[in-house]
């Protein structure tokens, strides 16, 4: 027996995993471009969130049809991957169905895989119909043109092909069919190939086997470029997601320092600003105009976004025709982060100012000022993403760095400063209601 196939397999496997690892490194580097944020608190609550939301898919079932179908695909995906282990061992050592020695257990396993594969196939077809025939509104928003739209469909085609290959591979495996254990679905596909000689069948079986494993490796490498990255990142993302009440916005520490100084009667107003180790003046930038100003959890959020649009479909601004779409906020953040990452790659590891930024080139004023901070997007997200936090950070930049709030809001803020209320009433009149 020739060992060429084994060597070929090993090369493909190493190349596939190697390229994936390279992109994972890039992913981690890009996420680390974000500001640091302390997420070391509440570890047990965080583990629970991850188990419940990512592993248990608890948020998905809020939309029962999509949720149910998604669970099928998810469970199918996870379990069928046990089969990949067998494929890898067979491929490397030239064995044939190494686990088949398990007998009945093997039959049960493969039987379960076959059933799951068929269910996944059906679910994926329904997903495709929802996207392309029923045209569910949330998949047809302006930000879902071009790549995002194709991406959604490509994934579905991938799944269809992989599941078909898996079933065909089993159906054309003469020995496996002869075992007649576990071929619950493939026995009905086998007759399709009944006229063929054993040699031809073997070729089909081998072809299906090879394309299947190459398909899986391709899929793995496709993830980095796709919204499908969520199958991996949903886990860390739900772990690092907020454990505070949704209404709580973070207090900017840099601002606290300045406010405390201003309020402290003993502080020397002419004291030089604090210096960092390198002796440079530390100028804290308030808020975010670009991805590097966001914290790394927000950047992880962007890579995790599944582009499902649950956030956007619940958003009151979007529902009433405003330009704001929380999904677009996440997609823009990811696109810009990728752009910055590529810039760094092209310039030997340092970012070369490209005259662009997240604010203005991706996200506009009009979007930012349409938000009511209602948290509907945060509540709706099945993977604990917080689009609102990015909107607020960008507003902070506009107001504190650019003094670019809408006029009416400037009036409101002047009133608060002068009268302690957002309207032009005198603070001394605050208790007048009592006697009115």
Partner 1 sequence: MSELLKVPTMAEYMAQGKQPDVLFWVGCAGSFDDRAKKITKAFVKLLNKAHVDFAVLGTEESCTGDPAKRAGNEFLFQMQAVTNIEVLNAYEVKKIVTACPHCFNTIKNEYPELGGNYEVMHHTQFLKSLLDEGKLTIEGGKFKGKRITFHDPCYLGRANNVYEAPRDLIKKLDAELVEMKNCKSKGLCCGAGGAQMFKDAEKGDKEVNVARTEQAIEVKPDIIAAGCPFCNTMMTDGVKAKDKEADVEVMDIAELIANAQDL
- Residues in contact with partner 1 by CB under 8 A are 244-249, 251-252, 255-256, 258-260, 262-263, 286-287, 314, 316-317, 319-324, 366, 369-376, 378-379, 392, 394-400, 405-406, 408-409, 411-413, 416-417, 420-423, 425, 427-436
Residues 285-314 that bind ligand SF4 (CB under 6 A): 305-311, 314
Segment near ligand SF4 (CB under 6 A); pick from 68-76, 146-154, 197-205, 376-384 = 376-384
**List of residues 6+ apart from 324 with CB closer than 8 A:** 315, 317, 318, 366, 367, 368, 370, 371
Determine, following the binding rule CB under 6 A, whether residue 317 of this chain makes contact with ligand SF4: yes
Tokens 């994936």, residue located? 20
Determine, following the binding rule CB under 6 A, whether residue 365 of this chain makes contact with ligand SF4: no
Name which of 9 and 362 has its Cβ closer to partner 1. Answer: 362
Name which of 100 and 325 has its Cβ closer to partner 1. Answer: 325
Determine, following the binding rule CB under 6 A, whether residue 327 of this chain makes contact with ligand SF4: yes
Name which of 159 and 307 has its Cβ closer to ligand SF4. Answer: 307
Name which of 86 and 367 has its Cβ closer to partner 1. Answer: 367
Q: What are phi and psi of 415, to 5 degrees?
A: -60, -45
CA geometry: angle 345, 350, 354, nearest 5 deg: 85
| Cα–Cα distance for residue pair 291/264, rounded to 1 Å | 34
Name which of 162 and 231 has its Cβ closer to ligand SF4. Answer: 231
Angle between helices 296-304 and 387-396 (to 10 degrees): 130
CA geometry: angle 290, 295, 29, nearest 5 deg: 85
Residue of 56, 111, 236, 316 that binds ligand SF4 (CB under 6 A): 316
Minimum distance, C-beta of residue 189 to partner 1, in the bound complex (Å): 43
3-state helix, strand, coil in the chain (%, to 5): 70, 0, 30
Determine, following the binding rule CB under 6 A, whether residue 387 of this chain makes contact with ligand SF4: yes
DSSP of 357-399, one letter per residue? -HHHHTB-HHHHTT-----HHHHH-TT---HHHHHHHHHHIII
| Cα–Cα distance for residue pair 141/149, rounded to 1 Å | 10
> Which chain residues interact with ligand SF4 by CB under 6 A?
305-311, 314-317, 324, 326-327, 330, 371-377, 380-381, 383, 385, 387-388
């Amino acid at each position: 027996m020739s060992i060429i196939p084994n060597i070929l397999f090993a090369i493909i496997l190493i190349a596939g995993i190697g390229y994936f690892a390279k992109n994972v490194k890039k992913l981690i580097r890009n996420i680390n471009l974000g500001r640091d944020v302390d997420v070391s608190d509440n570890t047990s609550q965080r583990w629970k969130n991850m188990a419940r939301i990512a592993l248990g898919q608890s948020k998905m079932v809020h939309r029962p049809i999509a949720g149910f179908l998604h669970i099928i695909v998810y469970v199918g995906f996870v379990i069928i991957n046990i089969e990949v282990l067998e494929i890898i061992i067979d491929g490397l050592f030239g064995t044939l169905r190494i686990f088949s020695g398990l007998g009945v257990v093997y039959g049960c396993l493969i039987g379960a895989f076959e059933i799951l594969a068929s269910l996944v196939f059906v679910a994926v077809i329904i997903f495709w119909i929802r996207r392309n025939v029923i045209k569910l509104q949330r998949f047809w928003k302006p930000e879902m043109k071009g790549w995002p739209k194709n991406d959604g469909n490509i994934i579905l085609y991938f799944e269809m092909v992989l599941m078909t290959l898996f079933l065909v591979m089993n159906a054309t495996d003469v020995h496996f069919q002869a075992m007649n254990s576990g071929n619950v679905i493939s026995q009905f596909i086998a007759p399709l190939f009944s006229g063929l000689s054993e040699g031809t069948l073997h070729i089909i079986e081998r072809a299906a086997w090879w394309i299947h494993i190459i398909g899986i490796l391709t899929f793995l490498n496709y993830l980095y470029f796709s919204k499908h990255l969520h199958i991996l990142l949903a886990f860390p993302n739900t772990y690092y997601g907020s454990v505070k009440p949704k209404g709580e916005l973070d207090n900017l520490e840099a601002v606290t320092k300045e406010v405390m100084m201003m309020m402290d009667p003993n502080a020397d107003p002419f004291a030089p600003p604090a210096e960092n180790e390198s002796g440079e003046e530390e100028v804290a930038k308030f808020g975010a105009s670009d991805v590097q100003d966001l914290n790394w959890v927000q950047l992880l959020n962007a890579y995790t976004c599944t582009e499902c649009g649950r956030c956007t479909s619940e958003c009151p601004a979007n529902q009433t025709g405003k330009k704001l779409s929380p999904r677009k906020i996440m997609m823009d953040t990811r696109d810009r982060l990728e752009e910055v990452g590529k810039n760094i790659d092209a310039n030997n590891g340092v970012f070369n100012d490209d005259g662009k930024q997240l604010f203005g080139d991706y996200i506009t004023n009009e979007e930012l000022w349409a938000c009511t901070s209602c948290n509907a997007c945060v509540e709706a997200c099945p993977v604990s993403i917080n689009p609102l936090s990015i909107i607020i950070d960008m507003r902070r930049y506009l107001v504190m760095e650019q003094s670019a709030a809408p006029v009416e809001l400037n009036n409101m803020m002047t009133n608060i400063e002068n009268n302690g209320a957002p309207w032009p009433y005198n603070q001394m009149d605050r208790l007048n209601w009592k006697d009115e």
